[in-house]
Amino acid sequence: MNSLVFVLPLLASQEAESTLQKIDREVTSIVEKVRPSVVQVTSVLLPNETLTLSGVIYSKDGYIVTDASGIEPAMEIQVVLGTTTLKAEHVASDRRTGIAVLRIDRVGLSPAAWCEKPGKAGAIAVVVGTPFGMRGGASTGTVSGYGRSIQVAGVRYDNMIQLSVPVQPGDCGGCVADSSGRLIGLVHSTYAPDPAEFEARSILPAFRRNPQDAAPVAGQTVSFGTPAEWVRFSADRIIKHGRMVRGWLGLSARPLDAAVRAQLGLDEGVGVELVRIEREGPAKTAALAPRDILVEYEGKPVKDLEALQWAVARVEEPKTVKIVFLRNRERREAELRVEIDPQK
């Protein structure tokens, strides 16, 4: 009877918790879980000029993953761990994913938990980073989509996660966590119109007819992250080899249009169209040409662009594979040598 006196108020209080309070509790627990794994990375460009970004602890023995473009020009890299500033070593970077691996002389770190499988669009996403140099800053939103391609500083990045989470300068390299507090990606970039561009557009209302045309173009609502599986792939390879080792064909491809596929008599989903062949590369050596339709790779039908990317990227030693492609509706077979990406 006495125990009921204590249990009943507790039950009553649990029933009284609203949905918003539950969400609040869940989100704060995610942030608390992720925060210890997020570090501040300071890239010293010149003695009086630094660049602040974020990083995520990858392993207990001192490996940290962060964004490559922020640390490439650095003459010295520092990692702020708690209240301690440590000098970090830049192990290597992957040009394709934009991931860099740092190493600090410290063990017993708390690495982030990793989400092995990509989630679905619409899932909750929590970003923990260093917005404007404020360590552990968190913001929430949703995952807007997967498999996006973006271009940053003239380089294209594929398979990116599109986020509706507000990210700020300094968040680059920060952790994007799911509702379980597991890392689903690293903050990469943001898509925000240039203020100058906005100013240029601001005279246009004189020529607008519909009110919706006057929607603000300023304000950041779209950000992008590197997906966890590719971060992990790059980090593992760099830690294993001391440099980025991945396969390379020297070509670009795009999905085949359904009408073209039907015209060529290909099965559902099979075939990718080559759109660009690099001047020097395995594809050029194999005499592949733009507009060729790649239908088989290593004896398997080519159905998914990302699956093909994985098949090529996983190569650690140069090897020769058999491919089947269509040129002018004629089926041809060739041998294609997968080289190691020169990372140029």
Minimum Å gap between C-beta 254 and another protein is: 4
CA distances from 89 to 56, 62, 63, 242 (A): 15, 10, 9, 12
Nearer to another protein, 182 or 315 (CB): 315
Minimum Å gap between C-beta 291 and another protein is: 13
Nearer to another protein, 182 or 188 (CB): 188
Pairing of strands 99-104, 222-227: unpaired
Minimum Å gap between C-beta 190 and another protein is: 6
Q: Are 41 and 71 in contact (CB under 8 A)?
A: yes
Minimum Å gap between C-beta 133 and another protein is: 6
Q: Are 139 and 103 in contact (CB under 8 A)?
A: no
| Per-residue tokens: 9 | 């108020």
Q: Which amino acid is at 7?
A: V
Minimum Å gap between C-beta 193 and another protein is: 9
Q: Are 126 and 145 in contact (CB under 8 A)?
A: no
Nearer to another protein, 23 or 275 (CB): 275
Residue at token pair 């970077």: 93
Nearer to another protein, 37 or 42 (CB): 42
Q: Are 189 and 163 in contact (CB under 8 A)?
A: no
Q: Which residues bind another protein (CB under 8 A)?
A: 43, 49-53, 67, 69-70, 96, 130-133, 148-154, 156, 158, 167-172, 187-192, 194-195, 198-199, 202-203, 205-206, 211, 214-216, 218-219, 222, 224, 248-255, 275-276, 305-306, 308-309, 312
Nearer to another protein, 181 or 227 (CB): 227
CA distance 103 to 79: 9
Nearer to another protein, 131 or 181 (CB): 131
3-state secondary structure of 81: strand
Q: Are 130 and 53 in contact (CB under 8 A)?
A: yes
Nearer to another protein, 66 or 181 (CB): 66
CA distance 231 to 311: 16
3-state secondary structure of 102: strand
- Burial tier of 11 (Cβ tally within 10 Å: 0-12, 13-18, 19+): exposed
